[in-house]
Structure 1
Amino acid sequence: MYKPKLEKDIRCPLEYGLDIFGGKWKSRIICVLAEKEVLRYSSLRKELTNITDAVLATTLKELIADGIVQRRQFDEIPPRVEYCLTDKGRSVVPILQSICRWSGAYHRENSDYILSQCQKCDYKCENSSD
Protein backbone atom coordinates (compact mmCIF):
# COMPACT_ATOMS: atom_id res chain seq x y z
CA MET A 1 0.00 0.00 0.00
CA TYR A 2 1.14 3.55 -0.72
CA LYS A 3 2.90 5.16 2.22
CA PRO A 4 3.18 8.97 2.19
CA LYS A 5 6.64 10.45 2.76
CA LEU A 6 5.33 12.82 5.41
CA GLU A 7 3.22 11.80 8.37
CA LYS A 8 -0.28 13.30 8.37
CA ASP A 9 -0.61 16.39 10.53
CA ILE A 10 -4.16 15.94 11.84
CA ARG A 11 -4.80 18.39 14.66
CA CYS A 12 -8.57 18.46 14.85
CA PRO A 13 -11.34 15.83 15.06
CA LEU A 14 -12.95 17.29 11.93
CA GLU A 15 -9.73 16.73 9.97
CA TYR A 16 -9.66 13.14 11.23
CA GLY A 17 -13.25 12.56 10.10
CA LEU A 18 -12.67 14.07 6.68
CA ASP A 19 -9.56 11.94 6.29
CA ILE A 20 -11.56 8.81 7.13
CA PHE A 21 -14.61 9.34 4.90
CA GLY A 22 -13.67 12.28 2.69
CA GLY A 23 -12.63 12.17 -0.93
CA LYS A 24 -14.38 10.98 -4.04
CA TRP A 25 -14.67 7.24 -3.39
CA LYS A 26 -14.66 6.58 0.36
CA SER A 27 -18.10 8.02 1.05
CA ARG A 28 -19.51 6.25 -2.03
CA ILE A 29 -18.13 2.90 -0.89
CA ILE A 30 -19.53 3.44 2.61
CA CYS A 31 -22.97 4.32 1.21
CA VAL A 32 -23.02 1.31 -1.13
CA LEU A 33 -22.07 -1.05 1.69
CA ALA A 34 -24.62 0.59 4.00
CA GLU A 35 -27.34 -0.15 1.48
CA LYS A 36 -26.23 -3.59 0.29
CA GLU A 37 -24.70 -4.69 3.63
CA VAL A 38 -22.34 -7.36 2.21
CA LEU A 39 -20.74 -7.35 -1.23
CA ARG A 40 -18.03 -9.20 -3.04
CA TYR A 41 -15.36 -7.15 -4.80
CA SER A 42 -16.82 -7.55 -8.28
CA SER A 43 -20.32 -6.58 -7.11
CA LEU A 44 -18.94 -3.55 -5.30
CA ARG A 45 -17.07 -2.49 -8.43
CA LYS A 46 -20.26 -2.76 -10.52
CA GLU A 47 -22.08 -0.50 -8.05
CA LEU A 48 -19.37 2.16 -8.38
CA THR A 49 -19.28 3.31 -11.96
CA ASN A 50 -16.03 4.72 -13.35
CA ILE A 51 -13.74 3.47 -10.58
CA THR A 52 -10.58 1.62 -11.55
CA ASP A 53 -9.50 -1.60 -9.89
CA ALA A 54 -6.38 0.09 -8.52
CA VAL A 55 -8.36 2.92 -6.92
CA LEU A 56 -10.99 0.55 -5.50
CA ALA A 57 -8.37 -1.79 -4.05
CA THR A 58 -6.39 1.08 -2.50
CA THR A 59 -9.49 2.76 -1.09
CA LEU A 60 -10.76 -0.50 0.41
CA LYS A 61 -7.37 -1.07 2.04
CA GLU A 62 -7.50 2.42 3.57
CA LEU A 63 -11.06 1.90 4.84
CA ILE A 64 -10.05 -1.48 6.30
CA ALA A 65 -6.97 0.05 7.97
CA ASP A 66 -9.20 2.79 9.46
CA GLY A 67 -11.64 0.21 10.85
CA ILE A 68 -14.56 1.31 8.63
CA VAL A 69 -14.80 -1.76 6.39
CA GLN A 70 -14.31 -5.40 7.27
CA ARG A 71 -12.87 -7.88 4.76
CA ARG A 72 -13.92 -11.50 5.21
CA GLN A 73 -12.05 -14.21 3.33
CA PHE A 74 -13.54 -17.69 3.15
CA ASP A 75 -11.44 -20.81 2.68
CA GLU A 76 -13.28 -22.10 -0.34
CA ILE A 77 -12.44 -23.01 -3.89
CA PRO A 78 -12.73 -20.69 -5.69
CA PRO A 79 -11.77 -18.19 -2.95
CA ARG A 80 -14.51 -15.86 -1.80
CA VAL A 81 -13.97 -12.44 -0.23
CA GLU A 82 -16.76 -10.23 1.10
CA TYR A 83 -16.77 -6.64 2.33
CA CYS A 84 -19.11 -5.08 4.88
CA LEU A 85 -19.18 -2.11 7.22
CA THR A 86 -17.92 -2.48 10.77
CA ASP A 87 -19.80 -0.93 13.69
CA LYS A 88 -17.52 2.09 13.31
CA GLY A 89 -18.38 2.22 9.60
CA ARG A 90 -22.12 2.03 10.26
CA SER A 91 -21.78 4.86 12.78
CA VAL A 92 -20.59 7.16 9.96
CA VAL A 93 -23.71 6.60 7.81
CA PRO A 94 -25.96 9.10 9.69
CA ILE A 95 -23.19 11.71 9.38
CA LEU A 96 -22.98 11.16 5.62
CA GLN A 97 -26.79 11.32 5.37
CA SER A 98 -26.75 14.67 7.21
CA ILE A 99 -24.12 16.00 4.83
CA CYS A 100 -26.25 14.76 1.94
CA ARG A 101 -29.35 16.56 3.28
CA TRP A 102 -27.37 19.77 3.73
CA SER A 103 -25.88 19.47 0.24
CA GLY A 104 -29.28 18.78 -1.29
CA ALA A 105 -30.44 22.20 -0.18
CA TYR A 106 -27.66 23.91 -2.14
CA HIS A 107 -26.82 21.57 -5.00
CA ARG A 108 -29.03 20.83 -7.99
CA GLU A 109 -28.57 17.30 -9.21
CA ASN A 110 -28.80 15.98 -12.73
CA SER A 111 -31.16 13.06 -12.17
CA ASP A 112 -29.58 11.09 -15.01
CA TYR A 113 -26.41 10.71 -12.96
CA ILE A 114 -27.80 10.08 -9.47
CA LEU A 115 -26.37 6.96 -7.82
CA SER A 116 -28.98 4.43 -6.76
CA GLN A 117 -27.88 4.82 -3.14
CA CYS A 118 -28.39 8.58 -3.34
CA GLN A 119 -31.93 8.12 -4.60
CA LYS A 120 -32.74 6.52 -1.24
CA CYS A 121 -31.25 9.35 0.85
CA ASP A 122 -33.68 11.78 2.39
CA TYR A 123 -31.85 14.86 1.15
CA LYS A 124 -34.74 17.01 -0.04
CA CYS A 125 -35.18 20.29 1.78
CA GLU A 126 -38.57 21.97 1.96
CA ASN A 127 -36.99 25.42 1.60
CA SER A 128 -34.95 24.53 -1.49
CA SER A 129 -35.65 26.42 -4.68
CA ASP A 130 -36.56 23.41 -6.84
Structure 2
Amino acid sequence: MYQRKIKKEIRCPIENGLEILGGKWRSRVICVLASKEVLRYSELRTEMANISDAVLSNTLKDLMRNGMVKRQQYDEIPPRVEYALTERGMTAVPLLQAIANWSNGYVKAENNLPALCENCDFNGAMKIVSNS
Protein backbone atom coordinates (compact mmCIF):
# COMPACT_ATOMS: atom_id res chain seq x y z
CA MET A 1 0.00 0.00 0.00
CA TYR A 2 1.21 3.48 -0.89
CA GLN A 3 2.37 5.64 2.01
CA ARG A 4 3.01 9.35 1.65
CA LYS A 5 6.55 10.54 2.09
CA ILE A 6 5.38 13.90 3.43
CA LYS A 7 2.74 14.31 6.10
CA LYS A 8 -0.53 15.60 4.68
CA GLU A 9 -0.64 18.61 6.98
CA ILE A 10 2.66 20.01 5.64
CA ARG A 11 1.93 19.51 1.95
CA CYS A 12 1.59 22.43 -0.44
CA PRO A 13 -2.04 23.58 -0.87
CA ILE A 14 -1.63 23.10 -4.62
CA GLU A 15 -0.99 19.40 -4.01
CA ASN A 16 -4.20 19.18 -1.99
CA GLY A 17 -6.13 20.85 -4.81
CA LEU A 18 -4.60 18.60 -7.45
CA GLU A 19 -5.49 15.57 -5.36
CA ILE A 20 -9.16 16.60 -5.62
CA LEU A 21 -9.17 17.91 -9.22
CA GLY A 22 -6.29 15.94 -10.68
CA GLY A 23 -6.47 12.89 -12.83
CA LYS A 24 -7.63 12.41 -16.37
CA TRP A 25 -11.39 12.53 -15.78
CA ARG A 26 -12.29 14.58 -12.70
CA SER A 27 -11.93 17.98 -14.32
CA ARG A 28 -13.85 16.76 -17.38
CA VAL A 29 -16.75 15.55 -15.22
CA ILE A 30 -16.83 18.89 -13.41
CA CYS A 31 -16.83 20.84 -16.69
CA VAL A 32 -19.56 18.72 -18.26
CA LEU A 33 -21.76 18.98 -15.16
CA ALA A 34 -21.14 22.72 -14.99
CA SER A 35 -22.28 23.23 -18.56
CA LYS A 36 -25.21 20.76 -18.48
CA GLU A 37 -26.23 21.38 -14.81
CA VAL A 38 -27.94 18.02 -14.09
CA LEU A 39 -27.30 14.73 -15.87
CA ARG A 40 -28.32 11.15 -15.43
CA TYR A 41 -25.51 8.59 -15.41
CA SER A 42 -26.15 7.47 -19.00
CA GLU A 43 -26.22 11.08 -20.23
CA LEU A 44 -22.97 11.83 -18.42
CA ARG A 45 -21.42 8.68 -19.90
CA THR A 46 -22.45 9.82 -23.39
CA GLU A 47 -20.99 13.31 -22.83
CA MET A 48 -17.70 11.82 -21.61
CA ALA A 49 -17.33 9.59 -24.71
CA ASN A 50 -14.23 7.42 -24.12
CA ILE A 51 -14.61 6.73 -20.40
CA SER A 52 -15.41 3.23 -19.15
CA ASP A 53 -18.28 2.60 -16.74
CA ALA A 54 -15.87 1.53 -13.98
CA VAL A 55 -13.75 4.68 -14.32
CA LEU A 56 -16.78 6.99 -14.48
CA SER A 57 -18.28 5.32 -11.44
CA ASN A 58 -15.04 5.64 -9.45
CA THR A 59 -14.57 9.24 -10.59
CA LEU A 60 -18.07 10.17 -9.46
CA LYS A 61 -17.50 8.44 -6.10
CA ASP A 62 -14.25 10.37 -5.60
CA LEU A 63 -15.92 13.68 -6.48
CA MET A 64 -18.87 12.91 -4.17
CA ARG A 65 -16.52 11.96 -1.33
CA ASN A 66 -14.77 15.33 -1.77
CA GLY A 67 -18.08 17.21 -1.79
CA MET A 68 -17.79 18.33 -5.42
CA VAL A 69 -20.70 16.35 -6.89
CA LYS A 70 -24.07 15.42 -5.44
CA ARG A 71 -26.13 12.38 -6.35
CA GLN A 72 -29.91 12.54 -6.24
CA GLN A 73 -31.78 9.24 -6.32
CA TYR A 74 -35.51 9.16 -7.03
CA ASP A 75 -37.74 6.33 -5.85
CA GLU A 76 -39.29 5.54 -9.20
CA ILE A 77 -39.57 2.52 -11.41
CA PRO A 78 -37.24 2.35 -13.22
CA PRO A 79 -34.91 4.04 -10.70
CA ARG A 80 -33.64 7.47 -11.68
CA VAL A 81 -30.36 8.94 -10.46
CA GLU A 82 -29.10 12.41 -11.34
CA TYR A 83 -25.72 14.03 -10.78
CA ALA A 84 -24.98 17.74 -10.35
CA LEU A 85 -22.24 19.94 -8.97
CA THR A 86 -22.46 21.12 -5.39
CA GLU A 87 -21.70 24.71 -4.45
CA ARG A 88 -18.16 23.57 -3.66
CA GLY A 89 -17.95 21.92 -7.08
CA MET A 90 -19.05 25.13 -8.77
CA THR A 91 -16.17 26.99 -7.11
CA ALA A 92 -13.74 24.80 -9.08
CA VAL A 93 -15.12 25.90 -12.46
CA PRO A 94 -13.31 29.29 -12.58
CA LEU A 95 -10.08 27.50 -11.65
CA LEU A 96 -10.53 25.02 -14.48
CA GLN A 97 -11.40 27.89 -16.83
CA ALA A 98 -8.15 29.65 -15.91
CA ILE A 99 -6.15 26.46 -16.43
CA ALA A 100 -7.87 25.89 -19.81
CA ASN A 101 -7.11 29.45 -20.95
CA TRP A 102 -3.48 29.17 -19.86
CA SER A 103 -3.14 25.74 -21.47
CA ASN A 104 -4.68 26.88 -24.77
CA GLY A 105 -2.21 29.76 -24.97
CA TYR A 106 0.70 27.55 -24.01
CA VAL A 107 -0.11 24.80 -26.51
CA LYS A 108 -0.74 27.27 -29.33
CA ALA A 109 2.54 29.07 -28.63
CA GLU A 110 4.57 25.85 -28.40
CA ASN A 111 3.01 23.77 -31.15
CA ASN A 112 1.14 26.28 -33.28
CA LEU A 113 -1.90 23.98 -33.00
CA PRO A 114 -5.47 24.66 -31.88
CA ALA A 115 -5.95 23.32 -28.35
CA LEU A 116 -9.64 23.87 -27.69
CA CYS A 117 -11.47 20.90 -26.25
CA GLU A 118 -14.36 19.82 -28.45
CA ASN A 119 -16.31 18.32 -25.55
CA CYS A 120 -16.06 21.00 -22.85
CA ASP A 121 -18.14 24.15 -22.85
CA PHE A 122 -16.03 26.43 -20.68
CA ASN A 123 -17.96 29.56 -21.63
CA GLY A 124 -21.27 27.90 -20.77
CA ALA A 125 -19.84 26.65 -17.50
CA MET A 126 -18.67 30.15 -16.67
CA LYS A 127 -22.11 31.61 -17.40
CA ILE A 128 -23.63 29.19 -14.88
CA VAL A 129 -21.15 30.31 -12.21
CA SER A 130 -21.67 34.01 -12.90
CA ASN A 131 -25.48 33.69 -12.82
CA SER A 132 -25.55 32.12 -9.34
User: Is 2:26 the counterpart of 1:23?
Assistant: no
Q: Please list every run of 5 or more consecutive structure 2 residues that lacks an aligned counterpart in the other structure.
A: 125-132
Q: Is the 8 A contact 2:30 2:85 kept in 1?
A: yes
Q: TM-score, normalised by structure 1?
A: 0.81
Deviation for aligned residue 1:56: 0.3
Partner of 1:92: 92
Bigger RCO of structures 1 and 2 (CA < 8 A, at least 6 apart): 2
Deviation for aligned residue 1:107: 1.0
Deviation for aligned residue 1:115: 2.5
Deviation for aligned residue 1:79: 0.3
Structure 1 residue matching 2:73: 3-state secondary structure = strand
Higher helix share: 2
Counterpart of 1:29, as a letter, is: V
Q: Matched residue pairs, number?
A: 116
Structure 1 residue matching 2:106: 3-state secondary structure = coil
Cα RMSD for the two superposed structures:
1.9
Partner of 1:49: 49
Deviation for aligned residue 1:119: 6.7
Structure 2 residue matching 1:72: 3-state secondary structure = strand
Q: Please list every run of 5 or more consecutive structure 1 residues that lacks an aligned counterpart in the other structure.
A: 122-130
Q: TM-score, normalised by structure 2?
A: 0.80
Q: Which runs of 4+ in 1 moved over 2 A?
A: 5-10, 108-111, 113-116, 118-121
Deviations 1:63-111 (A, max 9, x none): 0000000000001111000000000000000000000111111114557
What CA distance in whole angstroms lies between the structure 2 residues aligned with 1:119 and 1:84?
16
